[in-house]
């Protein structure tokens, strides 16, 4: 239990979408998923041009909080390279900032 409390005391930033996606992958647990399609129209400026926008949205629902998911996959996330600020470059994969 002490290590789990330590996780929260050291936590600076957590990407909940990354954690939930990795949790789903590692634990092989599927959330309840709902897709919705939204259509909308708007008029821009004073010109009478109407733009229609259609997009789909995925909503995933887990019965665990992101913190509990993090605790559940902490050991697997330790396999990621440790964060090294001096070597960090965007778009070169995820890094683990946990000690």
pLDDT tens for each residue of 38-94 = 776 555 555 555 556 778 888 888 888 888 999 899 889 888 777 777 877 777 666
Instruction: Tell me if 65 is assigned to some domain.
Output: yes
Residue 67 sits in which domain range?
A: 2-87
Instruction: Tell me if 94 is assigned to some domain.
Output: no
pLDDT in tens, 4-25: 556 777 777 788 888 999 999 9
Q: pLDDT at residue 32 above 60?
A: yes
Instruction: Tell me if 57 is assigned to some domain.
Output: yes
Instruction: Tell me if 39 is assigned to some domain.
Output: yes
Quote the number of domains for the chain: 1
Per-residue b or e along 29-59, where b marks 16 or more CB atoms closer than 10 Å to that residue's CB: eeeeeeeeeeeeeeeeeeeeeeeeeeeeeee
Instruction: Tell me if 99 is assigned to some domain.
Output: no
Instruction: Tell me if 92 is assigned to some domain.
Output: no
């Amino acid at each position: 239990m002490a290590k789990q409390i330590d996780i929260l005391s050291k936590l600076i930033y957590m990407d909940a979408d990354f954690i939930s996606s990795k949790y789903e992958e590692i634990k092989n647990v599927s959330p309840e998923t709902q897709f919705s399609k939204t259509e909308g129209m708007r008029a821009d400026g004073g010109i009478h041009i109407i733009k229609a926008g259609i997009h789909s949205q995925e909503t995933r629902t887990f019965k665990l909080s992101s913190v509990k998911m993090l605790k559940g996959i902490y050991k697997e996330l330790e396999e990621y390279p440790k964060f090294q600020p001096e070597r960090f470059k965007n778009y070169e994969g995820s890094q683990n900032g946990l000690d």
